[in-house]
Each structure stands twice: as structure tokens, then as C-alpha cells.
Amino acid sequence: MKLLYFAWVRQKTGRGEETVPLPAGCSNLRDLASRLAVRSAGYADAFGDLRRLRAAINQEHADWDALIGEDDEIAFFPPVTGG
């Protein structure tokens, strides 16, 4: 699956995107975020508090309960501040 990071999520993870296999037993966005949170101090900082974070699946806003699959493009980012 393709993972994208924006704004401070990108800065904390140290990368804008990466391609990873769907972790085993990981069915929704919340599962995925908790797996990412243990990868490093930077990832822990980015994914430690989901209340500060938002996500999209295949370029559409999604809740933490949303189901994910191997072919999805998944993005993590802070609440948006455009306009």
C-alpha cells in the first residue's frame, strides 16, 4: 500500500511517501496508525495522538474505523487549514 504524509506528519516521519505491505491483522486506519506509531520516535510523535490527526483513503476523507486494503493510497495529515 502507498502511504502519504503531509505537513507536520511528513516532518515527523521524515518522508513524504512510502510503499509498505499491509501489516498482518491490520484491517482499518486505526490499526495501521498504531502499527506505524511503534516504528520510531518520529513516527510515535506523528501517530501517538489520533485526535490531532486526519486521514484519507484513495483521496477521500476517512474515519479511523474505515477499512483498508493492499491497493489503497492512504494519507495522514493534520486538520486542514486552507482558504
Partner 1 sequence: MKTRIAIQCEPFDAAAEIAGLSDGAGAVATFTGFVRREGDLATLRLEHYPGMTEREIARHIGEAQARWPLLAATVVHRVGSLKPGEPIVFVGTAALHRREAFAACEFLMDYLKTRAPFWKEETRAGVTRWVDAKATDDHAAARWKQ
x-or-dash string of contact with partner 1, 51-70, rule CB under 8 A: -----x--xxx---------
Which cell numbers hold the place of 62? 476517512
Asked if 15 interacts with partner 1 (CB under 8 A), we say no
Whose Cβ is closer to partner 1: residue 60's or residue 70's?
60
Q: Record the cell numbers describing residue 48, joined without a space.
A: 501517538
23 vs 14: CA distance, rounded Å: 20
Task: Confirm or reject binding of residue 79 to partner 1 (CB under 8 A).
Answer: yes
Number of Cβ atoms within 10 Å of the Cβ of 38: 9
Is 75 a residue that touches partner 1 (CB under 8 A)? yes
What residue type is 16 in one-letter code? G
Binding site for partner 1 (CB under 8 A): 4, 6-8, 56, 59-61, 75, 77-83
